[in-house]
A and B are shown apart, each in its own frame.
Chain A
Amino acid sequence: MIDQLIIGGHAFQSRLILGSGKFSLKIIKAVVENGGAEMVTLALRRANLGGQENILDHVPKGLTLLPNTSGARNAGEAVRIARLAREIGCGDFVKVEVIRDSKYLLPDNYETIKATEILAKEGFIVMPYMYPDLNVARSLVNAGAAAVMPLAAPIGSNKGLCTKDFIQILVDEISLPIIVDAGIGRPSQACEAMEMGVAAIMCNTAIATAGDVALMSKAFKQAIEAGRAAYLAGLGRVINNRAEASSPLTGFLEDDHGIE
């Protein structure tokens, strides 16, 4: 059986989604190739259409663009940015990002739900970036999201799976692909998230700020593949070394004494 990531009816082999906001544009091609990424985000506010250093001139052809609504402070702005992205030919995918906090860049879940609902109705394939909260994730499902993208830690922090337990709840309870977005700092953390059953990893800073960017991209690819394989294989049981022998608590059961 082919293991594919399905988002909004589109199939992907790669489970690494590449952020692009922190890279030098001339190396994006090498990063994409080394990471095997099939989807790259694009901050529309950075797209210098017709001008110098336009990211759209540097993204290899054939990739799926995931324009994001960064810069939006509320649902209305996010919706308008998404429509603009579609108008300039970025396709139907959109990553909804609504942020009203310049310090931690934490997403505003409430506005995100509102934007998701409007855009899904307009036929967008909506992938909302959110703070991992089960109720919000359920609302996003109801609003028509195609995936849910919880943060592992604040954007750019490279802190890893700070919200691990809450992401696990989303993996367990939400039927849409759960894609960890923001905070993953090293391949081992990406691998750990994939082992948990996360569908894909979005990564930007950890690769963009590495010493050898292309090599780090490859490392993430391998880690994500390893984590996915481990998840599919099913992890073995973990023996609790601290378990202590004690009087059995189930010794009172009649069955154990052979009485019918």
Chain B
Amino acid sequence: MALNKLNFMEYIGDMEAIDSDIMDRVLDYTAEYDYQQFTGRDVQSALAKEQLSPDDYAAILSPAAMPYLEEMAQKAKIETRKHFGNSVYMFTPLYIANYCENHCIYCGFNCKNKIRRGKLTLEEVEVEMKAIAATGLKEVLILTGESRLKSGVDYIGEAVNLATEYFSTIGIEIYPLNSEEYAYLRQCGADFVSIYQETYNINKYEQVHLRGPKRIYPYRFHAQERALLGGMRGVAFGCLLGLDDYRKDAYATGLHAFLIQQKYPHAEISFSTPRLRPYINNADNRPHDVRERQLLQVILAYRLFMPYAGITISTRERAVFRDNVIGLAATKISAGVCVGVGGHMTDEKGDEQFDISDSRSVHEVHQMIISRGLQPVYTDYIRV
């Protein structure tokens, strides 16, 4: 599909357009966000508040906040404990396919990459799920590459249906859908939808999404809202930190989530914080902008701005970093992770999307959580 000649801001085909001003508001606010104008005083004043406004959030994401990282961490820990107590939720991802129709220049799954492609049969999906359930996990995140053709909504729905036999919570991280398709997957048993905008900068977005339906920016942007209209319980937000100016992207991500929560107060909101790893043939990428210190600033800023939101910490990060951010700001951690297609029990049928830095088993992560005086939580939802 050669879609790269299309206007990336206009819907194509059957893409559903919804009535929402959230994208315009996020883009307007983000365009005006000049993080260099904030001072230490702005940061201090934000940290003194009980509830942070979007302007306060802008301040604590600014370079002026870097000397206040420790204060931010102290406050974040209190907020995390207030809202989540000692709980740390555990889950694992299950990649059921990695076919992709998009050409995103930063991604290991992109359609131009010569990698092993594969898709699990439903029998294989069940074998994988059994193996995951045997580790004690009750929450699974089902992932596919972005190909409607190879991994259609019906196939995903059947996988979700199977998952209800083994898991109490089922998340999906797939290509964006129309609201009635989300409603169908909700009916099948899915609870959560994760969609990452990658970058909120529309110019950069156009440059790095060369072809495929993902090129259409607004359709991706409004996915969380369509998921909630389809009846999903919660939605996750994220940008690929380092793909563009990470401060502006993190600001837009937080604001996006904030406005969705205002419009849909029942929705459970969560953040993921993937960082871009260095990749070849693209001199323009900025993976080195976001070191651990910067990543922690973003994670703490999410926590302080939306203290009730979940934060998931990726296996892309090293174990020591993950261990220290749970209980401090992060509330959910993956364990026993395979990022290839299958691999929990069946042989991997497709290559990995990225390399992980933390390959610990469910048991090892469980023990680590306990050793930090925290409580591993396997289930937090009951399907009724």
Which A residues are closer than 8 A to B by beta carbons? 21-26, 43-48, 51-53, 71-73, 77, 80-81, 84, 100-103, 105, 156-158, 204-205, 208-209
Contact = CB atoms under 8 A, between A and B. Distances in A.
A71 B380 CA distance: 8
Contacts of A204: 85
Contacts of B384: 72, 77, 80-81, 84
Contact of B82 (A21, A48, A53, A205): A205
Contact of B380 (A25, A46, A73, A101): A46
Interface in B221-277: 261, 265-269
A103 B82 contact: no
Interface in B330-384: 366, 370, 373-382, 384
B247 to A, nearest CB: 25
A22 B25 CA distance: 36
B138 A48 contact: yes
28 contacts: A22-B81, A22-B84, A22-B86, A24-B86, A24-B373, A45-B381, A45-B382, A46-B377, A47-B379, A51-B136, A51-B379, A72-B384, A77-B384, A81-B382, A84-B382, A100-B265, A100-B266, A101-B266, A102-B265, A102-B267, A102-B268, A102-B308, A105-B308, A156-B83, A158-B82, A205-B82, A209-B81, A209-B85
B87 interface: yes
A211 to B, nearest CB: 11
B187 to A, nearest CB: 16
Given A23-B86, A51-B136, A209-B85, 17 more contacts: A21-B85, A22-B81, A22-B84, A24-B86, A24-B374, A44-B382, A45-B379, A45-B380, A45-B382, A46-B379, A53-B378, A71-B380, A100-B265, A102-B267, A102-B268, A105-B308, A156-B82
Contacts of A105: 308
Interface string B162-203: 000000100000000000000000000000000000000000
B375 A24 contact: yes
Contact of B261 (A53, A80, A102, A158): A102
A102 B266 contact: yes
A53 B366 CA distance: 10
A25 B348 CA distance: 37
Nearest to A74: B266
A157 to B, nearest CB: 7
Nearest to A105: B308
B-side interface mostly: loop
Contacts of A205: 81-82, 85
Contacts of A43: 380
Nearest to A99: B266
B381 A25 contact: no
Contacts of A24: 86, 370, 373-375
| 10 cross-chain pairs, A with B, having the tightest CB-CB distances, nearest first | A22-B85, A80-B384, A45-B382, A100-B266, A156-B82, A52-B136, A209-B81, A24-B375, A48-B378, A101-B265
B50 to A, nearest CB: 9
Nearest to B265: A101
Contacts of A71: 380-382
A48 B86 contact: no
A25 B369 CA distance: 12
Contacts of B267: 102
Interface in B43-88: 81-87
Contacts of B261: 102-103
A31 to B, nearest CB: 12
Contacts of A51: 136, 138, 378-379
Contacts of B374: 24
A72 B81 CA distance: 22
Contacts of A26: 370
A110 to B, nearest CB: 14
B85 A208 contact: yes
Contacts of B86: 22-24, 208
A156 B83 CA distance: 6
Contacts of B379: 45-48, 51
B136 A103 contact: no
